[in-house]
């Protein structure tokens, strides 16, 4: 999902977009080390890879959110070419989302820290505690995911500020100065899409975790209880 049109489509129909959105894959060097061309991954290695993907991509996401605040929101507040109403329309409730996601990332990091032998696990059953910790983090913050509904609702307003009928030259010059290399991934518009991309990713990662656990295991049932948690936004 890389265009404003696709994001707007998600805002209109999040369920359909979730079903059609690709899972993607961003694994850390730690998880990449598990891949060997000579054999298939064991179930334990697959499970570890998904857990690492969840945590690694969460860390990257929070980094992007911090960049959004530091490179765009805070500097814009010091300018005079946008009103407070326009800034609010542009960023919505992003500051609340950032505060939540920082805490959520801390919980995921702590879940890994509680298992010092995580990288040595050889059986899926050994992941029980960490999967319970991950699942509990989603359950604990279930209401915080609803913040994304408001963010999504404000997306069309943000587009009107970024692309007004009559161009805001001062805004365009500001945006160009904040992204001197003209990298698409560093544009304000790209950063504003990332929360939508992330909320779509959670159900897919949780589904992968469920698929890799024993259906009779307690941790599997715990993950089944999370089936609609991010979807409740």
CA distance 141 to 201: 16
With both helix axes pointing from N to C terminus, report the angle between 84-91 and 155-162 in degrees, rounded to the nearest 10.
Answer: 120
pLDDT by residue (tens digit) across 148-180?
A: 999 999 888 898 899 886 778 999 999 999 999
Mean pLDDT of 20-33: 46
Closest among 30, 221, 59 to 118, alpha carbons compared: 30
CA distance 127 to 121: 7
CA distance 50 to 26: 10
pLDDT by residue (tens digit) across 178-213?
A: 999 899 999 999 999 999 999 999 999 999 999 999
pLDDT by residue (tens digit) across 80-132?
A: 999 999 999 999 999 999 999 999 999 999 999 999 999 999 999 999 999 99
Q: What is the pTM of this model?
A: 0.82
And the tokens for 200?
Answer: 């779509």
Domains within the chain, CATH numbers bracketed: 41-232 (1.20.900.10)
């Amino acid at each position: 999902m890389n265009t404003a049109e696709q994001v707007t489509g998600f805002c209109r129909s999040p369920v359909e977009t979730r079903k059609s959105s690709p899972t993607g894959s961003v694994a850390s060097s730690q998880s990449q080390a598990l891949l060997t061309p000579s054999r298939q991954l064991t179930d334990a290695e697959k499970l570890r890879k998904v857990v690492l993907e969840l945590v690694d991509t969460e860390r990257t996401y929070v980094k992007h959110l911090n960049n959004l605040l530091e490179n765009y929101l805070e500097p814009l507040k010091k300018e005079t070419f946008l009103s407070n109403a326009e800034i609010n329309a542009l960023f919505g409730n992003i500051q609340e989302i950032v505060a939540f996601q920082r805490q959520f990332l801390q919980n995921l990091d702590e879940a890994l820290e509680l298992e010092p032998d995580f990288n040595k696990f050889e059986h899926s059953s050994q992941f029980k505690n960490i999967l319970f910790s991950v699942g509990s983090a989603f359950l604990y913050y279930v209401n915080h995911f609803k913040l994304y509904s408001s963010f999504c609702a404000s997306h069309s307003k943000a587009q009107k500020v970024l692309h007004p009928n009559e161009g805001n030259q001062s805004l365009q010059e500001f945006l160009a100065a904040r992204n001197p290399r003209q990298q698409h991934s560093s544009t304000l518009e790209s950063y504003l899409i990332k929360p939508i991309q992330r909320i779509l990713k959670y159900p897919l990662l949780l589904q992968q975790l469920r698929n890799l656990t024993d259906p009779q295991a307690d941790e599997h049932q715990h993950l089944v209880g999370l089936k609609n948690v991010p979807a409740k936004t």
